[in-house]
Structure 1
Amino acid sequence: MTNVVNGMPAGDLQGVTWQKSRRSNPSGNCVECAVLPNGDVAVRNSRDPEGAALIYNRAEIEAFLGGVRDGDFDNLIA
């Protein structure tokens, strides 16, 4: 795999399996995630699968998902 850096083209992340939520709709407005070989997680916008991928380490993803579960971001959707 190419040297992985934050903001790299998601298309350069070969051999990873992108996953989206079952709650996603068919209009293509989805956030997709992929676990990288080193355990980091890449995130991309499904409308631009070749666009930039944001790369997070495991601790960052765990903190974010914990906040989602706790309702910390419920104010983002009205």
Structure 2
Amino acid sequence: MDEIFNGMPAEQVPGAAWRKSSYSGAQGNCVEVAHLPGGDVALRNSRDPQGPALVYTRAEMEAFAAGVKDGEFDWAH
């Protein structure tokens, strides 16, 4: 199997089926996610699909999503 690593070109991530949120704006201001074989998760900028991919473990993404749901990353207004 090909090595998957942080910063590799997103278009070269083996087994990646990229998805974007239905909340994404018309300008493509969104992060796309791909669930990878082996359980890791890759992220890329939808405005730069050939740019670098960031790869996280499922546990890292679950912790981040829980923080978002709890409001830990809300913008200060």
Q: Same fold (TM over 0.5)?
A: yes
Calculate percent identity across the aligned residue pairs: 58
RMSD between aligned residues: 1.4
Q: Which moved more, 1:25-34 or 1:13-22?
A: 13-22
Give the corresponding residue for 2:52: 52
Q: TM-score, normalised by structure 2?
A: 0.91
| Corresponding pairs, count | 77
The CA deviation at 1:14 is 3.7
- Deviation per CA, 1:22-45: give whole Å up to 9, x if none: 110121111000000011000000
Stretches of structure 1 lacking an aligned partner (at least 5 in a row): none
* Greater than 3 Å deviation, 4+ residue runs: none
Stretches of structure 2 lacking an aligned partner (at least 5 in a row): none
- Deviation per CA, 1:36-55: give whole Å up to 9, x if none: 00110000001110100000
